[in-house]
Amino acid sequence: EAQVTQNPRYLITVTGKKLTVTCSQNMNHEYMSWYRQDPGLGLRQIYYSMNVEVTDKGDVPEGYKVSRKEKRNFPLILESPSPNQTSLYFCASISGAGPSSTDTQYFGPGTRLTVL
C-alpha cells in the first residue's frame, strides 16, 4: 500500500530538548515536504526536498532542520524546541513526474507536537 508514515504521532516535550520526527515514503517519490498546521493559518511549508541531498527552505523554516540522505526518508529536526513550535506537523511526498491525474501529493497522518 502506498503510504507516508510519520513517527511519533504524538509527542510532548520540554523547551530545548532536541527531537526528531521521522518521515518515510514507500513510493520512490522524488519530492518530499514538511508542513505545519496551526488554527486559522492552514498549512505552511517548512522545508522541502527535490531529491537526495537536495533540500531548501519553505515559508517558515526558522527553528527547524531537515536532511535527505536516502530517497525514502526525510526527518524533521528541532534542535532546541520552543513553545511556539507546538503544532500539528505533516510530511508529504509526490513523484514530481508532472501534473496528471495519477501524480498525487500523499500526506502522512500527522504528528502532534507539544512543547512545554
Partner 1 sequence: AQSVTQPDIHITVSEGASLELRCNYSYGATPYLFWYVQSPGQGLQLLLKYFSGDTLVQGIKGFEAEFKRSQSSFNLRKPSVHWSDAAEYFCAVGTPMEYGNKLVFGAGTILRVKS
List the one residue from 33, 74, 87, 113 that touches partner 1 (CB under 8 A): 33
Number of other CB atoms surrounding residue 25 within 10 Å: 22
Return the residue of 50, 80, 84, 116 that touches partner 1, per CB under 8 A: 50
**Does the protein bind partner 1 through residue 22 (CB under 8 A)?**
no
Closest CA to 23 of 38, 9, 3, 4: 4
110 binds partner 1 (CB under 8 A): yes
Looking up cell 508542513 gives 35
DSSP states of 62-99 as a string?
TT-EE--SSTTB--EEESS--GGG-EEEEEEEE--S-S
Stretch of 13-21, 30-38, 61-69, 76-84 contacting partner 1, by CB under 8 A? 30-38
Per CB under 8 A, does 55 bind partner 1? no
Residue 77 grid cell = 529536526
Contact positions toward partner 1, by CB under 8 A? 30-31, 33, 35, 40-45, 48, 50, 56, 58, 90, 94-96, 98-100, 104-105, 107-110
